Amino acid sequence: MTNMRLIELKSILRKYSDKEKAKILRRFFKTAAGEYAEGDIFLGITVPILRTLAKQYQDLALNETLRLLKSRIHEEKLLSLLILILKYRKADSSGKEKIYKSYLGHSKYINNWDLVDVTAKHIIGAFLMDKDKAPLYKLASSNSVWKRRIAILSTFCFIENNAFKDTLRIAKVLISDPHELIHKAVGWMLREVGKRDLDSEERFLKKYYTAMPRTMLRYAVERFPESKRQTYLKGTA
């Protein structure tokens, strides 16, 4: 039986829906036939509104939060994940582990880049910060583009704690990935490494930049001085 609190929340969400914004979001998030988010439904609700609602409904039961994650409506998915982050931060160690496992167990519903990017470092990365990183390498070798993106984006938590080893290792695993969303994610994380330790990023780039997809390389060197950026892009570094 669906919790009345969840029914109430879904009703509130509908009040914030905006048909014109929804049209824009459907195009932006590639929901047309054959695109990566084919069939996803958008209500046209802004992220700040969803964050406010997440704070107001962070006491929603975990099973109801996960029920919301299974929705085909994008904003309901994102809201559930924002609630999960808040729950994770307040939980004790066993509660954190339960949320971590719930996230992985429901990863097939985390099926767009923003859903991954907003959440992966806060739950998967945070949980694995002081633990064996083997689950990330399993995700990185998945057939699911979203699991592979979770793998590399989760390491953002490590990067923010000046630990770069796993980011660079997973970047190497994903260097020949066929999907542009992975090219962008890996390049982005390499750039984040470079913000904190340019030598570490450049050692990686010197070794692998000629094998990297163009988009990945462009993202990785985006903040370099123009002359140095061009040496990488022209293959003369």
What is residue 1's predicted lDDT score, i.e. its pLDDT?
A: 45
**pTM for the complete prediction?**
0.93
What is residue 39's predicted lDDT score, i.e. its pLDDT?
A: 78
What would the mean pLDDT of 26-43 be, rounded to a whole number?
81
What is residue 27's predicted lDDT score, i.e. its pLDDT?
A: 85
**Domain 1-105 is found in CATH 3.10.129.10:** no
Residue (of 41, 111, 116) closest to 84 by Cα position: 116
Q: Is the pLDDT score of 29 beyond 90?
A: no
Nearby residues of 79 by Cβ (< 8 Å), 6 or more positions away: 9, 13, 50, 53, 54, 57, 68
Percent of the chain with pLDDT over 70: 99
Q: Is the pLDDT score of 33 beyond 70?
A: yes
Same fold, 1-105 and 112-237: yes
**Domain 112-237 is found in CATH 1.25.10.90:** yes
Q: Is the pLDDT score of 6 beyond 60?
A: yes
> Where do the domains of the chain lie?
1-105, 112-237
**Rounded to an integer, what distance in angstroms lies between the CA atom of residue 109 and that of residue 76?**
11
**Minimum mean pLDDT among 29-33, 154-158, 159-163, 173-177: which range?**
29-33
**Rounded to an integer, what distance in angstroms lies between the CA atom of residue 18 and that of residue 194?**
39
